Amino acid sequence: MAGLAAAHELASAGVDVVVLEGSDRLGGKLRLGEVGGLTLDLGAESVLARRPEGLDLIHAVGLDDRLVHPETITASIWTHGALRAMPPTVMGIPADPAALAASGIAEMPAPRILPAPDSDVSVAEFVTERLGRDVLDRLVEPLLGGVYAGSTDQLSLRATTPQIAALDDDLLAAAARYRAQATASGPVFAGLVGGVGQLPAAVAATPGIEVRLGATVRSVVRTPDGWRLSVGPTTDVETIDVAAVVVATPAPAAARLLAQEAPDAAFALAAVDYASMAIITYVFDDAVVPEGSGFLVPPVDGTFIKAATVSSNKWGWVAASGRTVIRSSVGRAGDSTLLQYDDGVIAARALADLRDAFGVLPEPADLLVQRWGGGLPQYDVGHLDRVELIERSVAAVPGLEVCGAAYRGVGIPAVIASGRAAARRLLDVGTIES
C-alpha cells in the first residue's frame, strides 16, 4: 500500500508512474479471498480512523459510499481461564484502575511515578518499572502483539507506543485524560463494505498509473539521466530507464536494491527483523458466540492463538450474510515453528483454542489459512535512530526515495503517509515534473 500511495500521489500531480510488483497481485497485506462463498478480508480488515491518511485515500479513489464503522469494538482478554472485559487503556496502560481490578485480568502494584527516560528503552522496561510485570504481560503485551507480533522486551517504546512515551510521569492520570480526549474524537476504526482489500485495485485504477505484475526488480542503478532498473527473470532481464525511483519493498529486499547506491541505508535496513504470522478465517453456518468484537490473548498463557475477531459481530455487512465469521491470528516474533506446520494443523490448533475460549463451536462450513511470512517488521529499541540514518543516506541520492511499513508505522494510514511523503519529496525538489 505504501508504493500504491506514492504512485497515487505522483499520478495525481500529472506524473506518469509504473508500478513494478514482483508478485502476481497488488496490495501487500490487504487481500480479499473467498471463504464459504463469502468474499472477506484475509489480511488487514480495518483502517485506523483517527489518522486521516487512510480515509483521505479512500475518498480520493471514490470508495466513500462503502465506508463503514464497526458495530462494536468491545473486546476481551482471554486469560485466567475466562473471557474478561478489557478495561479502558491507552495501549495497555490502565485508564481506570477500578475497572482493571474488577476485570480480574491483572494485578497492579502501587504505581511508581518516574521521569521519562532520556533515551529509547524497551516497552517492557518502561512499563514494568512503573506498573509491574502483570500489567505488561496481560494488557500491554497482547495489545502490541496484535499490531507487531513482537515481544515487548525488544520493542522500542518510542517507535511502537508513542502514545505511552508522551504520557506524563503520572502514567495512570495521564492515561485517563488521554482516553477521555480520544473517546470524544469519534470512531476509532473504519472499514469498507466488501472489505478493505478493495482499496489497492481502486488506487491502481488512477489515471497515469501503469501496473506490471510479476515484475521482480533485480537492480537499481543511477545513470547520468536518472535510473536504470533490471526487471524480470534472470533468464530474460529487461532494462527500464526512469527519472526517479521509490523503493516500497520490505526491508530485506530494499537492502539488496540499495546496496550499491545507498550502502549506509542498505546496511541499516538489513538489520530490521520481521515476524511471520497467519490469519485463519472460519465460516460457520450455525454458531453462537458472545457479543463483542473478539479477544486478545497474553503470550504468558501459552495458547496457540494470540487473538480472535468475530467479524460477523464487528461488521454489519458480514453479519448480513447470516453466517458466523471468526478470524484467528497466530504467530509471534521469534517463533520459527509456525511456518513448519501445514494448514490443517494450524487451523485445527487454532480452532481448539477458539472452542476453549468461546465454548461449543460446530465444525466450520469452510476455513482458509492465510500465511504472512515475514509480514511484520520489528521496531526494536533504537529503531527510530536506524530510520533516521536510512533517511539521511537516501536523501543524499537524488531521485531516490523509500517508503513502507519498515520505517515509521505498520498500520494502513501510516504506510499510506510514508508513500505520500516519499512522492512529495520527489515533487518538491523538482526531480520529476508533471
Which tens digit of pLDDT belongs to each residue from 405-421? 999 999 999 999 999 99
Q: In Å, how far are 148, 194, 280, 305, 338 from 374, measured between CA atoms? A: 11, 26, 17, 18, 11
Residue 183 confidence (pLDDT) above 80: no
pLDDT band at 434 (very low <50, low <70, confident <90, very high): low
Lowest mean pLDDT across 55-59, 306-310, 400-404, 430-434: 430-434
* Residue 306 half-sphere exposure toward CB, CA atoms < 13 A: 27
Note whether 246 and 6 are within 8 A (CB).
yes
Residue 107 confidence (pLDDT):
96
DSSP string over 217-238: EEEEEEETTEEEEEES-TTS-E
CATH architecture of the domain with range 274-377:
Alpha-Beta Complex (3.90)
Q: Are 331 and 277 in contact (CB under 8 A)?
A: yes
Q: What is the pLDDT of residue 288?
A: 85
d(CA 261, CA 267): 12
Mean of all residue pLDDT scores within the chain: 95
For residue 20, list its beta bridge partners.
212
Which three-class secondary structure state does DSSP give residue 75? strand
Q: Which of 238, 202, 182 is nearest to 4 (CA)?
A: 202
378 CB-contact burial (10 Å; exposed 0-12 / middle 13-18 / buried 19+): buried
The span from the CA of 285 to the CA of 405, in Å, is 37
**Distance of alpha carbon 101 from alpha carbon 401, whole angstroms:** 49
CA angle 136, 142, 146 (to 5 degrees): 140
Chain position carrying cell 504467530: 331
% of the chain with per-residue pLDDT over 70:
99
Average confidence (pLDDT) over 221-242:
95
Q: What is the pLDDT of residue 241?
A: 97
What would the mean pLDDT of 282-311 be, rounded to a whole number? 94
What is the C-alpha to C-alpha distance for residues 246 and 358, in angstroms, rounded to an integer?
46
Number of helices and strands in the chain (H, E)? 17, 21
> What average pLDDT does the segment 141-150 reach?
91
Q: Shortest CA distance to 294 belongs to which of 88, 85, 38, 103?
A: 85
CA dist., res. 190 & res. 138, Å (int)? 26
Domain residue ranges of the chain, discontinuous segments joined by +: 2-70+190-272+380-428, 90-183, 274-377
Residue 301 to residue 325: CA distance in whole angstroms? 25
Q: How confident is the model at residue 79 (pLDDT cuts 50, 70, 90)?
A: very high
CATH number of 90-183: 1.10.3110.10
The band of 219, judged by pLDDT with boundaries at 50, 70 and 90, is: very high
Instruction: Determine the pLDDT at residue 182.
Output: 77
3-class DSSP assignment, residue 195:
coil
Output the nine-digit C-alpha cell for 147: 499490531
Give the span between the Cα atoms of 39 and 24, in whole angstroms: 19
Give the CA angle between residues 301, 305, 306 to the nearest 5°: 70
pLDDT at 222 over 70: yes
Q: Please tell me the least confidently modeled range out of 77-86, 131-140, 333-342.
A: 333-342
Has residue 328 got a pLDDT over 60? yes
Q: How confident is the model at residue 181 (pLDDT cuts 50, 70, 90)?
A: confident
pLDDT at 134: 97
pLDDT at residue 337, rounded to an integer: 80
DSSP one-letter code for 397: S
Q: Model confidence over 239-265: pLDDT tens digits?
A: 999 999 999 999 999 999 999 999 999
> Residue 422: what pLDDT?
98
Record the cell numbers describing residue 406, joined without a space.
519498515
Give the CATH superfamily of 2-70+190-272+380-428: FAD/NAD(P)-binding domain (3.50.50.60)
Question: Picking from 6-20, 70-84, 184-198, 294-308, which range would have the lowest pLDDT averaged per residue?
Answer: 184-198
Helices (H), 157-286: 157-160, 162-165, 171-183, 199-204, 251-258, 263-269
pLDDT at 64: 96
User: Which class for 110: exposed (0-12), middle (13-18), buried (19 or more C-beta within 10 A)?
Assistant: exposed
pLDDT value for 433: 66
